[in-house]
Amino acid sequence: MTDPDSSTAKSNRTRERLLDAAAQVLAEKGFAGTRLSDIAERANVQAPAIYYYYPSREDLIEEVMFVGAAAMRAHLDEVLAGLPSDATPVERISAAVEAHLRHELEISDYAKSIIRNGNQLPEQVSKRALAEITHYNDIWRTLVTELDTAGQLRSGLEPSVARMIVLGALNWAAEWWKPERGSLEDVIRTAQSMVLHSLRP
């Protein structure tokens, strides 16, 4: 007799493999180039089996985008929550820069798939992910506002524009950085310096 708990655990592992594989293929090939056969091969399952877990290619991609966006926001929340209660606005932004780059370049293929495909997706595929991305942007809005309130935002900067330019630059690292181009630590240190020098007086 089959153990229901064992079957559920196996099903959950397969679902996770499919999501991980889909994130990798999306990051490499983009929305238009992502095929279920590629995902199935990467996940080591038969392509028709995907329909047991997801009704369509779009449903699978929608889940990848949502899970990835939620994880990216949760990672930033966790990093900021782990800072000392008296951390300065500068220290919080510096930590946020590192959290963004580590998650994007080291921790998660999901982050790359979001960054590279966010503007290519139909609304029904991106809706839940966009809600999480909005929450993520709100965290950054708070960080820049804290810097401004502390009198440490450079005069003449429009905070919302500055925030979006910073995030755009950090996101772009997913397009050009590879380990052979230099250490991730160098990228993080340089990005922290450039972001903070551009925002402060």
Find the mean pLDDT for residues 61-78.
94
Q: Between 30 and 81, whose confidence is greater?
A: 81
Confidence of residue 134 (pLDDT cuts 50, 70, 90): very high
- 13-24 pLDDT, tens digit each: 899 999 999 999
Residues contacting 73, CB < 8 A, separation 6+: 132, 133, 135, 136, 139
Return the structure tokens found at 18: 């499919």
pLDDT value for 144:
97
Instruction: Give the whole-angstrom CA distance, residue 13 versus residue 5.
Output: 12
Q: 182: left (phi > 0), else alpha (psi -120 to 50), else beta?
A: left
Which residue type is seen at 14? Answer: T
Counting residues of the chain whose pLDDT is more than 90, the rounded percentage is 73
Domain ranges, ordered by start, for the chain: 58-199
Reported as a single tens digit per residue, the pLDDT across 86-106 is 999 999 999 999 999 999 999
CATH 1.10.357.10 fits 58-199, yes or no: yes
Contact 177, 100 (CB under 8 A): no
Q: Distances from the Cα of 106 to the Cαs of 94, 112, 130, in angstroms?
A: 17, 10, 22
What would the two tokens of residue 103 be?
């998650």
pTM exceeds 0.85 for this model: yes
pLDDT higher than threshold 60 for residue 2: no
Q: Is the pLDDT of residue 138 over 70?
A: yes
pLDDT value for 4? 58
d(CA 73, CA 79) in angstroms, rounded, equals 10
